[in-house]
Amino acid sequence: MTTAIEITDLSRRYGSTDALTDVSFDVEQDTICGLLGRNGAGKTTTLSVVAGQERPSGGRVRVFGHDPADDSRVASRTSFVKDDQRWPDDFRLREVLAVGPAFHRGWDAELARSLAADLRVPEKTPVKKMSRGQASAVAIVIGVASRAPLTIFDEPYLGLDATARQLFYDRLLADYSEHPRTILLSTHLIDEMESLLEHVVVLDQGQVRLDCDVDDARASAYSVAGTTRSVTAFLTGRTVLSSHGIGGLTTAVVEGAADERVRADAAAAGVELSPVGLQQVVAALGAASAASSAVHHADDGDDLGGGGGGLGGPTADASPRTAPEGARS
């Protein structure tokens, strides 16, 4: 397939702060890719660079084969939907829809009006005075109706209620099916949007932690649950992304595929295995990264629970650690 977005060793610095470090991933044309991660992971910065609104400090970015910061052909084929989009003070819905065709050759006026009505965007209220949810609805209308070859959504649902969000998902997927395009979006509502996504890139602290198809992402980890003694024994030698113990029970998310050997070990240890969703994978990766600094300072003799809590403690251990052989009871 044709590659729409190519990012190689991208870095972005703001003064002494590294927002992105050696970020590399590709997005194939006519796919929906989710850019996921915690707040401050670098998602918005990445989207801004791809859209040509920021220049990289280092590395290479190509969109449809061109530099988005310098080539007007990229801008004319891109729609970047942000929740903080600014409009002239007197702009109402009518004015917003009127300027759409000037920026997007594929603009569908009928789709824009229909979607605005479904999302209940007020016609007489200036966009500047709309509620956050109403302003988000306006941005969604622009992104969907633009039918731009590259459509970028940066958390477009902020302020929308559950009904409006589902309507957005349904309308976006329906229009994408009839008019394929490359869609790159960031979201924290992973469970809600998982069914839309074909590919995911997970960022954490400005670096890529995961880059794969959604099915492969789900298969990249699994959950194990049972008594603390049994889970501790099972986790020996395995990479634990996150764990939580309460009373005498422990649940952990473990990196890797639950293959035949893993299932056999689980049966022998008397623990229960279960698949994880995309939300669990992303949360575990983020939690593991957050705890890694503490782990690096821990003594080599610390037990698996970290901080003296152990797997049976009441607190979660989210460190990406390989359970030591000494953890087996």
Tens-place pLDDT, residues 106-145: 999 999 999 999 999 999 999 999 999 999 999 999 999 9
pLDDT tens for each residue of 278-288: 999 999 888 77
Tell whether domain 219-327 is in CATH 3.40.1310: yes
Residue type, 319: S
Q: What is the pLDDT of residue 329?
A: 36
What element of type H or E holds 18? strand 17-28
**What pLDDT is recorded for position 85?**
79
* Rg of the chain on CA atoms, in Å: 23
Element (H, E) at 284: helix 278-297
Strands (E), 113-181: 150-154
Q: What is the pLDDT of residues 154-167, one digit of tens each?
A: 998 999 999 999 99
Express each pLDDT in 62-88 by its tens digit: 999 999 999 999 999 999 988 677 888
Instruction: Calculate the average pLDDT of the chain.
Output: 88
Q: What is the pLDDT of residue 321?
A: 54
User: Quick one: pLDDT at residue 297?
Assistant: 46
- Tell me the whole-structure pTM to 2 decimals: 0.85
- The C-alpha angle 136, 142, 144, rounded to 5 degrees, equals 100
| Tokens (6 digits) for 310 | 């152990």
What is the percentage of the chain residues whose pLDDT exceeds 70?
88
Per residue in 267-304, pLDDT (tens digit) is: 999 999 999 999 999 998 887 776 664 444 444 444 44
Return the percentage of the chain with pLDDT > 90, whole number. Answer: 80
User: Is the sign of the CA dihedral 159, 161, 166, 167 positive or negative?
Assistant: negative
∠ CA 68-70-75, rounded to 5°: 50
Please say whether the beta carbons of 293 and 216 come within 8 A: no
pLDDT value for 306: 40
Topology of the domain covering 3-217: Rossmann fold (3.40.50)
Q: What is the per-residue pLDDT for 289? A: 72
Question: How do the domains of the chain map onto residue ranges?
Answer: 3-217, 219-327
| Range of weakest confidence among 14-23, 172-181, 225-234, 295-304 | 295-304
pLDDT in tens, 87-97: 888 999 999 99
Task: Look at residue 328 in the predicted model and tell me its pLDDT.
Answer: 37
Question: Angle between the 109-118 and 162-178 helix axes, to the nearest 10 degrees?
Answer: 160
| pLDDT at residue 299 in the model | 47
The pLDDT assigned to 315 comes to: 34
Confidence of residue 313 (pLDDT cuts 50, 70, 90): very low
